[in-house]
Structure 1
Amino acid sequence: MNTSSTRPRPGTARRGAAAAAALVVGALALTACSGDSGVVPADDDPATSAEADGPVEIRFSWWGSDTRHQLTQEVIDLFEEKHPDITVVPDYTDWGGYWDKLATSVAAGDAPDVMTQEERYLADYASRGVLADLSELDVDTSAIDENVLASGKTDGGLYGVPTGVNVYAMLADPQIFAEAGVEMPDDTTWTWEEYVDLAGQVSAGTPDGVYGVQDYGFNEPGFAIFARQRGETLYTEDGKLGFSQETLADFFQVSLDLQANGGEPDAARSVEIDAAGPEGSLLGTNSGAMGVWWTNQLGAISTAAGRDLQLLRFPGESEHERTGMYFKPAMYYSVSKTSEHPEAAATFVDFLLNDPEAGALILSDRGLPANTDVRAEVADLLPPVEQQAADFLADLEDEIVDGPPVPPVGAGDVVEIIRRINTEVLFGNMTPDDAAAQFMTEVEAAIG
């Protein structure tokens, strides 16, 4: 699933924001975690010292919409102004074509110097020797939360540095709750049983076609939180399954309980809604009170809904001995192990992470900045809906226990596996227990 934001941000507005940010982030430019704005003196710059034989050219690959492509080119232009001896060649496509293109480039021995990675594929590329260990390059990660940074570590090295962070959370529509005559939940204490009951009450108190909640079972992050609340985990550190069949069966059972009390649509409608994406979701079409989404999708869904939505913690966070929610990197920056200019590539990654002016351009396009100093400095530049997400993440900092291990090689197949099996459960073709057993068998085969 592509968790990245795609809401349009005109380039001219970005340049204006960057100009305004110059005053806001001026202090950080002198005192950032790397000692300055990410630009080191020419005599100390690893790129210029190591590449003393002349200008160098590196390639940067990423996925996204036309809006992201335009924005990223502005960031590249800023970098090249500050590092005139390094030229960055853009290499981009949409999410659907990105991984095929990257695999082809790697197979041909032409990997991009700097590439964008996603958590499901990071271990795969690291294990095949494609990625450089960033801990051996000059990339300052001191202002990134250790739990977040650890999500890019696998096989004993740091093979991806988080661009920014998201949280999988409950989104709610206060207006539909009010129309149903149902109080909004206290998300610091609500349980899974209360979640099911509230959804049923909302459906009962609203017109036909409006529901309490959209089904949550089509994506594995929801189950990862459910399992973590019980002290289990989707994957273990050594790449195995870390949960019980009973826990996964209970996860599937919640959807059946919601079907039974009318809290969510029937199976056919649920499958249709899942395929419609954020804008076509129940929340996005004013047809539902709750749904689970990444925090950086709040803007797109709120825009589609035409009303303010509210972020809530998952139910069950106070129900057991530990919480389950976690900070997920929206994506990662990685450097090719075969890059002819690793120092220049590292300089570019360091700039993307730590330069306040770059942060003022990027804002939350690749998740809220992983560098917490930059995140704080650009907070006032964020639109209100993204400020809500930033505040929500800040509220969770003392509650999140840890981050999940890097998904093992083969985890990319899980996206299709859970979607297919959840569909079978919703249509009544499999019991929750049988579905859990089938899921475990298929995922074990996929991850070897």
Structure 2
Amino acid sequence: MTPPRLTRRHALKVGIGVAGLAAAGLDRPARAAEAQLRMAWWGSKARADRTAAANRLYEAAHPAVSIKGETMGWPDYWPKLATQAAGGNAPDLIQMDYGYIVEYARRGLLLPLDDYMPSVLTIADFGAAAIDCGRVDGKLYGVNLGLNSTAFIYDEETLRSISAEIPAWDWSWDQWGAWSLRVAQASKRDGYWGLQDAGGLAPSLECWLRQQGMAMYTAEGQLGFGAAEAAGWYGFWHELRQKGAIPSADVQALDKGGATETSMLALGHAAAISTNSNQLVAHQALVPTRLGLTMQPSGGPDAKPGQFMKPSMLWSVAARSKQAEEAVRVASFYVADGEAAKLLGVERGIPASAAMRAAIAPGLEALDRAMLDYVDFIADKVAPLPPSPPKGTGEVGILLRRINEQVGFGQISAEEAGRQFITEAAAILGRS
């Protein structure tokens, strides 16, 4: 799985590229229309270009509809959305994350979509699992925009240039750590390591916990592990940090968390990062060397599967939308229209619809095909999707990152960090 970089030809194939967002009309003033929709999403410029192109395609077929896009990076997206929702001014169509859908649905901020199926929302060929991932308390609140899983994206071309090993899918956590140090030494570059510091990443922690038979969260919405496990996690990364195998705390702090442009890979500080498989496109657009992707570290021969397939993101409709049915039609268009699928590609994940996968497959370049192949490859190596995480998950993720930084800067020990995390995370979940 070693795809080439995103080419200019590839960008032009989906009607984006040289003219960027202006040509695609992302910032175009809303025209007079019977239905004026606001659509919000997080993501890179590549995603914004594709989204804008798809919106223009929808508008061309529905002249009475105008779609205004609002986009920003992951760290800024959720605070703004929370403010808008609290003020009754949420966008009509909201790009939703699996980690937040429970919170927004239970607060009454999202519209149940069951009554729109199948006449308006045509997702029957997704299959039960890919539909039900958008359900909260039995009602459908999210439309699956694509399948993905966590992955390690690595700089294959640079690794080959320094005669370093290409990571294998069955490497353990310890093997990855030892490899990271070898890459740092072989590169002969200051401020360059094999692997980012993933101690503050909740998806990686969840994978590690599941391999040990535990869970990030229980079905009741509480933590599924204790202070000893949290300390072990922080300690693993701190030991690598002390050995010089991963970035120092001040370098890792340059990563703003969720913003592709500031990842250690994009900034040139690491040869591999832990992220989601659909982020391959966005990272390849930022990195001139050829990238590849492989699985999260293995827990060893007797470990349980740590990874799982999940919705990369979902479309949700604001409960107070005045154009709710039209917003649902747009969501359906994104996941069930062949021409839209070709424009969107697999940047948001592999389409859940078998028909849409068939529609895009002939036109996929190697970069996109690698993500499709990755999802196929891991299908028999992953565990079932866990229950939707509880309200407060986002805040717990921020806490995990903050405490990891405190360990990195020598402010607290790993043992203290473990106790502090469990105490504060439990309090967050208790008040949420």
Q: TM-score range by the shorter chain?
A: 0.7 to 0.9
- Mapped to 2, the partners of 1:231 and 1:150 lie a distance apart of 24
Rate the CA distance shift 1:82–1:173 in 2: closer, same or farther, 3 A.
Answer: closer
SS in 2 for 1:369: coil
Rate the CA distance shift 1:287–1:145 in 2: closer, same or farther, 3 A.
Answer: farther
Rate the CA distance shift 1:323–1:275 in 2: closer, same or farther, 3 A.
Answer: closer
**Which 5+ residue runs of structure 1 have no aligned equivalent?**
1-5, 18-54
Q: Tell me which residue corresponds to 1:242.
A: 224
CA contact (8 A) 2:158 2:289 kept: no
- The alpha carbon displacement at 1:176 in A equals 4.5
Q: Tell me which residue corresponds to 1:203.
A: 184
- The alpha carbon displacement at 1:160 in A equals 1.1
> In the TM superposition, what are the counterparts of 1:336-347 in structure 2 within 5 Å?
336-347=318-329
Q: Tell me which residue corresponds to 2:415.
A: 433
SS in 2 for 1:241: coil
Q: Of 60, 77, 87, which aligns to 2:65?
A: 87
CA contact (8 A) 1:58 1:345 kept: no
- The alpha carbon displacement at 1:148 in A equals 4.1
Is structure 2 residue 394 aligned with structure 1 residue 416? no
- Mapped to 2, the partners of 1:266 and 1:70 lie a distance apart of 35
Rate the CA distance shift 1:379–1:437 in 2: closer, same or farther, 3 A.
Answer: farther
CA contact (8 A) 1:273 1:282 kept: yes
Rate the CA distance shift 1:69–1:283 in 2: closer, same or farther, 3 A.
Answer: closer
Question: What does the per-residue CA deviation read over 1:7-31, in whole Å, with 9 as the maximum and x for residues that have no partner?
Answer: 99998642499xxxxxxxxxxxxxx
> In the TM superposition, what are the counterparts of 1:95-110 in structure 2 within 5 Å?
95=73, 98-99=77-78, 101-110=80-89
Rate the CA distance shift 1:288–1:341 in 2: closer, same or farther, 3 A.
Answer: closer
- Mapped to 2, the partners of 1:334 and 1:429 lie a distance apart of 41
Computing the radius of gyration from Cα coordinates, the structure with the larger value is 1
- The alpha carbon displacement at 1:192 in A equals 1.8
Q: Tell me which residue corresponds to 1:57.
A: 35
- The alpha carbon displacement at 1:420 in A equals 1.0
CA contact (8 A) 1:7 1:300 kept: no
CA contact (8 A) 2:281 2:347 kept: no
CA contact (8 A) 2:335 2:341 kept: yes
Is structure 2 residue 340 aligned with structure 1 residue 362? no
Give me the CA root mean square deviation. 3.2
Is structure 2 residue 103 aligned with structure 1 residue 124? yes
- The alpha carbon displacement at 1:155 in A equals 2.3
AA at the equivalent of 2:361: A
Q: Tell me which residue corresponds to 2:94.
A: 115
Q: Share of identical aligned residues, percent? A: 29
CA contact (8 A) 1:92 1:98 kept: no
CA contact (8 A) 1:162 1:329 kept: yes
Rate the CA distance shift 1:73–1:194 in 2: closer, same or farther, 3 A.
Answer: closer
- The alpha carbon displacement at 1:339 in A equals 4.0
Q: Tell me which residue corresponds to 2:175.
A: 194
Task: Single out whichever of 218-227 and 87-96 deviates more from structure 2.
Answer: 87-96
CA contact (8 A) 2:279 2:347 kept: no
CA contact (8 A) 2:212 2:304 kept: yes
CA contact (8 A) 2:261 2:267 kept: yes
CA contact (8 A) 1:113 1:345 kept: yes
CA contact (8 A) 1:204 1:262 kept: no
Q: Of 184, 190, 194, which aligns to 1:212?
A: 194
Q: Tell me which residue corresponds to 2:311.
A: 329
- The alpha carbon displacement at 1:173 in A equals 2.8
- The alpha carbon displacement at 1:103 in A equals 4.1
Rate the CA distance shift 1:72–1:266 in 2: closer, same or farther, 3 A.
Answer: closer
Rate the CA distance shift 1:9–1:442 in 2: closer, same or farther, 3 A.
Answer: farther
- Mapped to 1, the partners of 2:195 and 2:65 lie a distance apart of 49
Q: Tell me which residue corresponds to 2:296.
A: 314
Q: Tell me which residue corresponds to 1:231.
A: 213
Q: Tell me which residue corresponds to 2:22.
A: none
TM-score by length of 2: 0.81
- The alpha carbon displacement at 1:313 in A equals 1.1
Q: Tell me which residue corresponds to 1:36.
A: none
Rate the CA distance shift 1:436–1:141 in 2: closer, same or farther, 3 A.
Answer: farther
CA contact (8 A) 1:267 1:427 kept: yes
TM-score by length of 1: 0.79
Task: Single out whichever of 97-106 and 290-299 deviates more from structure 2.
Answer: 97-106
